[in-house]
Amino acid sequence: MVSTISQPETRPMTEEGDFLQLKGIDYVHFWVGNAKQAMYFWWKGFGFKPVAYSGLETGNRQFASYVLESGQIRFVVSAPYGPSSEISAHHLVHGDGVKEIALAVDDLAKAYAEVVARGATVAWAPREEIDEFGELRTFAIRAYGEVLHVFVDRSAYGGPFAPSYQPLDLPYESAGLSAIDHIVGNVQLGKMNHWVNFYHQVMGFRQLIHFDDQDISTEYSALMSKVMQNGSGRIKFPINEPAEGLRKSQIEEFLDYYLTPGVQHIAMATGDIIQTVQTLKERGIEFLRVPGQYYEALGDRVGEIREPLEAIKELGILVDRDDEGYLLQIFSRPIQDRPTSFIEVIQRRGSRGFGKGNFKALFEALEAEQKRRGNL
């Protein structure tokens, strides 16, 4: 797919170099077994607002689909009506998971020409879907595993999401989740640099950070990660691969259950992590817990922070500091039965990092969970 391999650069891109001019993540599309129940999870659990529905009642005889929003985040959950749907085939192999990460653009034709010239594998060529709300223009290319990047131009479309979708208006209570901070992909051993080069060469992303197995290892298992970022800095896609360790890496556990590379976690930003995590916990969302000694050393490690340490500890929130500031983060348990995708909630107070100082405590907590599942 990509013929020339070069080292990604970290310098900021010029306007000219940012050839895709991505405006942001338009939506994340989960293909699931039961869209009605998945919708309920994001709605009642994570405080998303249901905004659109497509299904038998709207003339869609292939699949049922709900669109939900929280701040700038848009999630779509879709499930098949029968075994001939490609969603069925996907679900049989992978269980619930992310199929599409859609990216908003103004100039679809230019974006298509750029990615094709740079060696992208096209899933569908530019097409227009038309209904009474206008014309929605999209094309899609293949990323790691079965994941697609759908490019979306909404400039001529005024509907609630896409043709066949009708608006929903249901009461909801926000948990304060405002934007997607980053989306992490897990790929196979030895494939991280391939996908780093894909994001660099085909999509114009630059490498922001590299974590090697020295940074991300515990007594038992290890992984490596490189963070790719688009020209505007708005879109961040870390790519993980397993590294050799004494026991099975958490990335290998993901690959064993998802069966291909795929989306490991979606980090969602909040302006008030204490309020958000309190709300999510009250609604039954489960989070990983690091050992208690993490909090004994926390004050010395991160210095003064604005949030009360008691609440941080009580909720199990993690804190990390770097030159630019600090961040607060917490990780959910898997959001489906298979130990595959999970959610991160993050609040940044100046730091643009990913919580490197938390890796060890966090991965030990993850391994404890792996062990309980009989997968370490």
Chain residues binding Fe ion by CB under 5 A are 267, 344
- Separation in Å, CA 358 to CA 208, 291, 299, 308, 345: 19, 12, 14, 19, 14
Tokens standing for 247? 């026991």
Report the residue number, 252 or 344, with the smaller CB distance to Fe ion: 344
Characterize the bridge pairing of strands 49-54 and 166-167.
antiparallel
Report the residue number, 87 or 267, with the smaller CB distance to Fe ion: 267
Query: Is the separation of the CB atoms in 31 and 76 below 8 Å?
Result: no
C-alpha of 344 from chain center? 9
Q: Least Å distance between CB 321 and Fe ion?
A: 17
Q: Least Å distance between CB 223 and Fe ion?
A: 12
Query: Is the separation of the CB atoms in 216 and 184 below 8 Å?
Result: no
Report the residue number, 64 or 180, with the smaller CB distance to Fe ion: 180
Residue with tokens 């309920």: 40
Q: Least Å distance between CB 264 and Fe ion?
A: 8
Tokens standing for 112? 């298509």
319's enclosing H/E stretch is strand 318-322
Q: Least Å distance between CB 54 and Fe ion?
A: 31
**3-class secondary-structure state, position 353:** coil
Q: Least Å distance between CB 343 and Fe ion?
A: 10
- Separation in Å, CA 328 to CA 92, 178, 264: 36, 15, 19
Burial of 213 from C-beta contacts in 10 A (0-12 / 13-18 / 19+): middle
Query: Is the separation of the CB atoms in 85 and 62 below 8 Å?
Result: yes
CA angle 112, 27, 320 (to 5 degrees): 110
DSSP-assigned letters across all residues of 2-68: ---------SPPPTTT-TT---EEEEEEEE-S-HHHHHHIIIIIT-PEEEEEESGGGT--SEEEEEE
